[in-house]
């Protein structure tokens, strides 16, 4: 049985815009920003929303539209 959730990761085209959304809408607190150093495959940031970790990573959009989503 699943006991918890580690973190969702969202691939976004603009880290700054998504940061504004997470902070402004969800009152997220930024706890990590890779800057120019990338330990994963691209620049990324990690936030805390309450006690849930949320990661965003810079990337290209999908080549075709999909109905991928997360509902809050």
Active site residues: 44
Cα separation, 26 vs 23, whole angstroms: 6
Cα separation, 40 vs 22, whole angstroms: 21
Helix (H) or strand (E) holding 26: helix 15-26
């Amino acid at each position: 049985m699943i006991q918890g959730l580690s973190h969702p990761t969202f691939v976004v085209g603009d880290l700054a815009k998504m940061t504004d959304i997470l902070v402004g809408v969800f009152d997220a607190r930024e706890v990590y920003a890779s800057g120019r150093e990338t330990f994963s495959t691209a620049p990324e940031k990690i936030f805390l929303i309450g006690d849930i970790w949320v990661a965003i990573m810079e990337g290209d959009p999908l080549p075709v539209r999909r109905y991928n989503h997360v509902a809050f």
